[in-house]
Structure 1
Amino acid sequence: MSIKTLPQTVDRSGPAPWQDETTMDSKLRRAPDAEWVLMFRLGLSRKRIAELVGAEPATVGYHLVIARRQDPGLEAEHLASARTKSRRSPVDLARMQEIISWVTDEGRFPRDRSGDKGERSMARWLSARRREAAEGTLDPAYNQGLAHVPGWTGTHREMADEARWHDRLAELAAFLEEGHDWPRHHHYDSEREHTLGVWIHTQRYKRRRGDLEPVKVNLLDTTVPAWQTGRTRGRPPRR
C-alpha cells in the first residue's frame, strides 16, 4: 500500500521574512536606535558604528534606513559632519554617548563625590564640557551630542550658571562631610557658610514653588540627603 505524502504545513508562528531581528527580541534595540542615529549624525559611517557598538553592519544599516525616512535632513547632517572631520576621535564620541546613556537611564547627572570610580570619572568629564561650553570652546561634536541631555542646552551665560550650580553642590557636600551642620544664610560664621547657605536656601525656595528642575531635585536628594529639612534645632556644640 502506498503512503500518501501529506503536504507540509507552514509554521506561521514565527516572524515574517521581512521582519528584522531587532523587532523580535525585546532585549535588542528598537529601530531606529537613538544612539546609533546620533553617531551617524556626527559623521560616523555605518561600518564604524557597527564596530563601536558590536553589531552587524546590516543591522545598523536597517536602523539608519528607518531614521532617514523619519528625518529627511539626517543624511545632509551626516555628510556635513563627516566633511568637517571633528578633532574628536570615535573613541571620544563613544565615551560621550556612554555618558548620555547613563544620564538617560539614571535620570540624573553623575556625582563627582560618588563611591563609584566610573561615576566620578563621568562627572569630571561633564564638568570639563560645561566649562568649555561656558567659555564658548566646546567642540561642535560634543555640542550636538550633549544637546540631547535634558538641561544641557542654553546660552553661554546659562551654561556658566549650570556649571556654577554643580560646583556649589560639590562644595556643599564637602562642607557637610567636614562635620559642619547645614550652612546658614543668616548668623553665619564665615563667608563660605554664607555663600552655601544662600545657595541651599534658594534651592529649597525653588523646590517649594515647583521651579526646581526634577533632575536637580534628584541630584540634591542623592548627593546631600535631607537638604529640604536642613537644620533641626540649634547648632551642635563645637568640638
Structure 2
Amino acid sequence: MTVQEIAEFTGRARSTVHRHLQVRESRGEDLRVVHDAAREALGPDWPPTRWQHRYKEVQDFYKANRRLPSVNSEKTEYDLAIWLRSQRTLRRRGALPSIRITLMDMIPDWDASPPSDATSRRTALDDHWRDRLRDLVAFVAESGQMPRYKKYGDELERVLGVWLHTQHQARAEGKLLSWRLEALDATLSGWHSRQ
C-alpha cells in the first residue's frame, strides 16, 4: 500500500503515516524492501485502497437496497452512482483492468446503462398516472360516485376530482395519450362527460 492508501485505510493523517514509516526505517528495519516486494506481487492493475473502499460501498448499497445507486438521489447515493458511471466508461474504453472488471461483475447489472433522465421521468409520470387511476377506481367502488373537484367531501375526493377533470380536459383537447384513454374506458366506462 502507498502512504496515501494506508492513511485512507487507517483514517490517519498522511503525515502521521509517513512519519511512522520513517521511524521504522530509521530503526534499521527493511520495511521499504518488504513494501516494494509486496507492491510488485500485486501487479500494476491491482485496485488501490480508495477504489476498493468505493467498490465496497456500492456492494453494500446494492445488498441493502436491491438496486444500483441512482444519480437522482441524495449526495451519498449520487456519489456512488457517479463512481459507477466512471467504471462503466472505463470499461467501454477498454481502460478498466481485468481484476477490477472481475470484481465489478460481482455486482448484478453494474454495467447496464441506466435509463436516461427523460425515460425515467416518463416512467415515473406513467406510474403516478396508474396509481391515480387505481385510487379513482377504489374511490368509485367505495363511494358509488365519481369524485368532485368543486364541492368535494374530503381531500382525497378533491385530489381525484382534479385529476379526473384534468383527464377530461386532455381528452377534449386531443392530448390524452391513447393508452390512458383506453385504460380509463376499460376501468370506468362512464368516466367522461358527454360533449
Range of TM-score over shorter length: 0.3 to 0.5
What's the TM-score, normalizing by structure 2? 0.42
Task: Give the helix-richer structure, 1 or 2.
Answer: 2
The two structures have a TM-score, normalised by structure 1, of 0.35
